Structure formats: C-alpha cells, structure tokens
Amino acid sequence: MFQHFCFSFYGHIADCQYPFMIIYVGCGGTGNIMCSECGGRGHLDIDIDMDSLQKKEPRGKFGVLLSAHASQSRALRADTRGEMLYSFRELSNVQLQTTVMGIKVFTISFILASSLLFLLFVPSKLMAPSPRFRPPTFAPNSSYPVTFAYLISASRGDSVKLTRLLRALYHPANFYLIHLELGAPEAERGELARVVARDPVLGPAGNVWVVGKPNLVTYRGPTMVATTLHAMAILLRTCRWDWFINLSASDYPLVTQDDLIHAFSNVPKNVNFIQHSSRLGWKLNNRGKPIVIDPALYSRNKSELWWVIKQRALPTAFKLYTGSAWTVLSRSFAEYCVIAWDNLPRTLLLYYTNFLSSPEGYFQTVICNSDVFSNTTANHDLHYITWDNPPRQHPRYLGQKDYKRMIQSNRPFARKFRQNDPVLDRIDRDLLKRGRREFSFGGWCLGSGNAKRACSDLQSINYGSLHPGPGAKRVGGLLSRVLSARNFTRKQCK
C-alpha cells in the first residue's frame, strides 16, 4: 500500500492540528513539527510503500509522523538528525488524503532515493535542536496518563517567589515556561535562567524554560492576553501536552503534581476549565463601552492605560462573556486560539485590544462564541480566590486564617500569596510534603522506604511512577461535581 506525503525538510516536529494524532515517541529526542502547505519552495512530495516499511520496523521507531485525521491535507516538516520519523502504531486507522501540489510526481524509487539523499546532506546547523527549547533527554511523556504545560507570569522582584513556586510545581512529565516581563531587569531574568540551568534536575531535564525576549505587560490591558497567546504558541511548537495552565508568581499549588495528574487521568481531554458568565452587570458600561490604549503595545517604557474620550457601542456580531483570568485550557482549544482557522479568535483579539481588563473576558468570549468549543466548557477556574467587599481589581492576600477553607474548597491552586508567607510553609509541610528547597512529594522523587529523596539529579529520577495522596481524592471529588451531568451542560455559555 502506497501513501502520498508532502514534506518540507526544515524546522522541528509537532502535530499540525488537534484532533490530529501524531504517532511517534513524544518529545524524547525527536523535536517538534510545524504545519505548512504542499508544493511551496523547499517542499517535497513522496510516495512511500507503507507495507514494506512496516515489515522492516514493526515496532514503529523508524519513522515519519502520521496525522490520524481523514479529509485534511497537511504537510509534515521533518528535521531530526537526518531521519524521516515514521511510526506505525495505529497505522490501520490512518487515511491521509493529500493533493500533489507544485512538484512533478516522479517514479517512486527515484523520489525515495532523492529524499533520503537530501536528508543525509541537510546542513547540521538546520538539524540542531534549539538551545532554548530543546526537548527533554529522558523517556517520553506517554509514561504518564496526562501532562500539563504551565505558563508562570512574573514581574520585577518576583524571582524568589518564582523559584519557590517552580519547585512546588515541578514534575518531569510537565512543561514550564516562565515569563518574567520586560519591566524586570535583565540581570534578574539572567539569574533566573542560570538557576534553572545549574539545577541538577531542571537543567538536564530540559522541560523548564525562561522566555528570553519577554513582553512588556499591563495586567488590565491586552498585553497580558498577548503574552498568554505567545506562551501557547511556544508550548504548542515545543512538545506534546494535554492542558495549558496559566499561573502568576503569586499563585501556589494545594496538591502535588502526582495528585493533579491522577485526578485528571479520567477527564476528557477536550474539556476546558474556564469560569465564565454572560451577565456582565456593571462591566457592560465600565468595560464594554470605554476604549483604552495600552502603551505596552508600542513602548518599551511601562505606563498606565490611557482612555479615549469617545465610547463605543456594545457588539452585535458576538456576545460578550466575562470571568476569571486563570484557566485550565485543552490543547485543542489552545491550538484554535493560536491558529484561528475560522478567524473568530483573531477578530476578538482585535476587539479586546481596546477593552479594559481583557484577560478577564477574551478567552471566555472566544470559547462561548465558538460552535466547536462552546460545549466543552466546565464553568470553574480550579482556583481558591477571595475578594474584598466590594471587590477590587486584585483579590485579597491569603494567610493562615484561610488555610482550612483552602483545603475544604478541594481546589488545586490558590492565590494571592505574599512572598514567604508562613501559610506557604504550612502548605509545603502538610500538603506538598516538601522541605526547604526540595521538590514536592511524588513517585518520581522517592527513594527506598519513601524517606530518602531520589531526585538529587536526573539519573536518579523514577520516571513514570505516580504516588497520588489525599490531594488526588480532593481534586477528584471537585472534578466529579463540576463535570457531573447536573452541572456540566447546565452551566455552559448561557
């Protein structure tokens, strides 16, 4: 059986579009892919005898990435140390229909020989993985039922909080992108990157990155949304993961990552945890009608938003929604926001560029106005947050008096915390089982007898092992209620 493919021999490897299923060994040394169309400059159309290749490599480690999605034509960019990456797992379910564009189809043998010679002579500099986003050097993430990609946003002076949060959140299954905004000194950003690089676990693992060219961010302006989309694009290009979670340096986990992975293992991977409401109330006049300009879009100097005197009418082409800026979004929805194949996310991004507090409305309005994703929303942000009465721009700081209520909420995250607040020590000791400068409790970080930590370096990691604790039960109970037949559809995008 011959299958026709279009390739461009440069870039990295990742799957083009959810629900495409790229069948390969994950991020362990293969790189990432980009999407493109057949027939352009630098592309090559080839026909491959799949039966013959499958006999040669029945275990599926020879090869090219396949997209398990019928009726879609996508190019796979192959660039990984001179090999075409094919995999044959689930090959019987794959039916690719592609169109020959731009290059005359030669005989099968000539094309195969030409493509192999081409791969052998690709300059090594094109095949070298990016030093900033190199894939992990250990086993693929298929060892775990689910994986998360974290964006951790921070500002000037947040390095101490970031370092503590990273150790509380870290797990070898996940991916972490730290964005220390442009307003922070370059020395602070450089020191943070050095801390990560020199760590005996974080450095060799290669799944923690610091954004080298950050954005200037104004929380109430569109630059926060732009930073989130930027992070999504980087993480989509870099590796395979199931959910995208955005946090700030003032957030903190209330469960271990083993707890969270275990609790999410039975959750459908298209579900988006995003608190939303169409009842804007006072926000209609105070946020929907004013026009604001964020100088961070065009200036290197941070300053406040400024307001246009004239106001605008409320939109009629789409319905406005509002909600929490803190979300847990599926990979498929993240891809939709970045790729925007029906143009809705781009249209709304233009609208929210002049919207006050756009992080609290952009993703809600996108998902609830999308015919594809509006029925995937779970109306919850999975955060424990308390507000003053009446509410202010930012929530109240949490402390020791909030500890019991935080646990009883069954939520995996809480915010906001002051730097080194005593309640964080209590969370570390009682919930995360971590000591000073240690990682949180987990199966990957255990020695004999569960007493001695085995995560002093990369080689000592017990990869693939999960040890969920009481936190998994708490979060699992919350997810069951949120996703129950009574709550799930009844609270979607009304």
| pLDDT digits 0-9 by tens, 282-322 | 888 888 899 999 988 988 888 888 888 889 999 999 999 99
Mean of all residue pLDDT scores within the chain: 76
Q: How many CA atoms lie within 13 A of 336 on its CB side?
A: 22
What is the mean predicted confidence (pLDDT) over 420-447?
91
Residue 191: its pLDDT value, please? 95
pLDDT at 62 over 50: no
Burial string for 267-303 (b: 16+ CB within 10 Å, else e) reads beebbbbbbbbeebeebeeebbebebebbbeeeeebe
User: Of residues 439 and 14, which shows the higher confidence score?
Assistant: 439
Residue 168: its pLDDT value, please? 97
Q: How large a percentage of the chain has pLDDT more than 90?
A: 54
pLDDT tens digits, 357-414 = 999 999 999 999 999 999 999 999 999 999 887 667 678 999 999 999 999 999 999 9
Model confidence, pTM: 0.72
Asked if residues 217 and 183 have their Cβ atoms less than 8 Å apart, the reply is: yes
The neighbour count for residue 70, using CB atoms within 10 Å, is 10
Residue 287: its pLDDT value, please? 87
131-436+469-494 carries CATH number 3.90.550: yes
pLDDT at 455 over 60: yes
pLDDT tens digits, 212-258 = 999 999 888 899 999 999 999 999 999 999 999 999 999 999 999 99
Question: Could you give the CA distance from residue 127 to residue 422 in angstroms, rounded to a whole number?
Answer: 48
Question: Could you give the CA distance from residue 256 to residue 438 in angstroms, rounded to a whole number?
Answer: 13
Residue 260: its pLDDT value, please? 98
pLDDT at 55 over 90: no
pLDDT at 131 over 50: no
Domain assignments of the chain as residue spans, ordered by start: 1-129, 131-436+469-494
